[in-house]
Amino acid sequence: MLNTPKIGVLVSGRGSNLQAIIDAIKNKELNAEIAVVLSDNPKAFALERASKAGIETAVIELKKFKAKDDYESEIVKTLKAKKAELVCLAGYMRIVGPAILKEFKAKIINIHPSLLPAFPGLHAQKQALEHGVKVSGCTVHFVDEGTDTGPIIIQSAVPVLEHDSEETLSERILEQEHKIYVEAIKLFSERRLVLEGRTVRVLSPRG
């Protein structure tokens, strides 16, 4: 078995994806260690989830810095101090800028609640309903300089039902998010993700 990779999780809010990662590690479905949970929002419920699980947390607020670059350099400093090898965005509500991207090239992943490239950005589930699609879902992707534009690692489709509200559709998608995010981290930690241009090749498990 490979060594246990350390991950840094960036959050801004509720933290249900963080919880899915915590639970998967606890249940030994995932061989990884959350080295730190970083939040730009001191009130994020994700911080409570992390503390409850005995995980170190840090709050780094953009407003405390003169420039976004300085804010991101502080994030990088904290991630490096904790020896994070993979950065997982889990409901982190900011665009990742160059200061983080250059330090963690092809080592930042994100979960998004739509089948990208459809409906990037905010309120993806609402966008899907308004467009009238019959199928939506979620995507785990590598993070690049765009908004939800990076190479796709895993996607999961869910049906959009006739009487869906934003809440019911979000709930159905969220169930899948929790599964594929853990799966993507597992693939990364087993070094089974190979980037070829903007395509991610998934290698078979070593037997």
Q: Which residues bind ligand GRF (CB under 6 A)?
A: 13-17, 90-91, 111-113, 174, 177
User: Sign of torsion, CA 11 17 19 25?
Assistant: negative
Is the separation of the CB atoms in 77 and 29 below 8 Å? no
d(CA 96, CA 83): 19
Distance CA 83, CA 7 (A): 8
Residue 52 Cβ, how far from ligand GRF at the closest point, in Å?
15
- Residues in Cβ contact with 73 at an 8 Å cutoff, skipping those fewer than 6 apart: 99
**Smaller CB separation from ligand GRF, 58 or 73:** 58
- How far apart are the C-alpha atoms of 118 and 134, rounded to whole Å? 13
Smallest separation (angstroms) from ligand GRF to the CB of 13: 5
* Closer by beta carbon to ligand GRF, 16 or else 78: 16
Shortest distance (Å) from residue 19 CB to ligand GRF: 8
Q: How far is CA 122 from the centre of its chain?
A: 15
Pick the catalytic residue from 112, 131, 141, 178.
Answer: 112
Cβ-closest position to ligand GRF: 91
Nearest approach in angstroms of CB 124 to ligand GRF is: 8
List the beta bridge partners of residue 119: none
Residue nearer to ligand GRF on the CB measure, 72 or 177: 177
Is residue 112 annotated as part of the catalytic site, yes or no?
yes
Strand partners, 113: none
Q: Which is closer to ligand GRF, CB of 49 or CB of 107?
A: 49
Task: Give catalytic residue positions.
Answer: 112
